[in-house]
Amino acid sequence: MSLLRVVGRPMLASMFVAGGLESVRHPQHVAPAAEPVVRPVADRVPLLPDSTEQSVRLNGAVQVAAGLLLATGRMPRSAALALAVTLVPTTLAGHRFWEEEDPEQRVQQRIHFLKNLAMLGGLLIAAGDTGGAPSLLWRSRHAARGLRREAHLAQRSFRAGARPAAAAGRIRAALPH
């Protein structure tokens, strides 16, 4: 594994582990801000808890678990994808800069919004990082190309072997019995 992955993954994960722990321990601190985002989503997704505090706690638990997996390099692509999924509602709930009246608060919230957007980009890159190994898509395309090549060679080989047999059959048919 490259040094960039060894160092970069825990750095990226640190924010989620810390923030997730805070959400698990004290969901009441962020529940009021999360309400406008959680309520419409919870109404459409029956698996989510009805309580905003429980949804915040669940989001935090996913962030802690996925953050630890990403930091340790265990299932890093799945962990990065899970973190990306949790970051979207977190950002929409916590950094609604377009609703701020105070210009200073608007600037701060926009900075945090853009920071989360940058982290989302990093997570999407991490989710697509195969660690230098070919991706599953590349391997399947490569295998299909190899199968096509082998089938073509088998067909040519069959035809090459069939020509002399066909010629021998024609000669045999032409000979008197």
Q: Assess whether 122 and 143 both reside in one domain.
A: no
Residues 26, 96, single domain; the answer is yes
- Listed residues 93, 109, 128: the one ending a domain: 128
Residue 1, pLDDT score: 64
Domain range for 50: 3-128
pTM: 0.72
- Kindly state whether residues 82 and 105 are assigned to the same domain: yes
Condensed to tens digits (0 to 9), the pLDDT of residues 72-89 reads 999 999 999 999 999 998
Q: Does residue 83 contact residue 16 with C-beta atoms inside 8 Å?
A: yes
- d(CA 88, CA 63) in angstroms, rounded, equals 12
Is 90 in the same domain as 42? yes
Chain segment 10-37, per-residue pLDDT in tens: 999 999 999 999 999 999 998 998 988 8
If asked whether residues 122 and 156 sit together in one domain, one would say no
Residue 25 near residue 54, CB atoms below 8 Å? no
Q: Are residues 124 and 144 in the same domain?
A: no
Does 114 share its domain with 141?
no
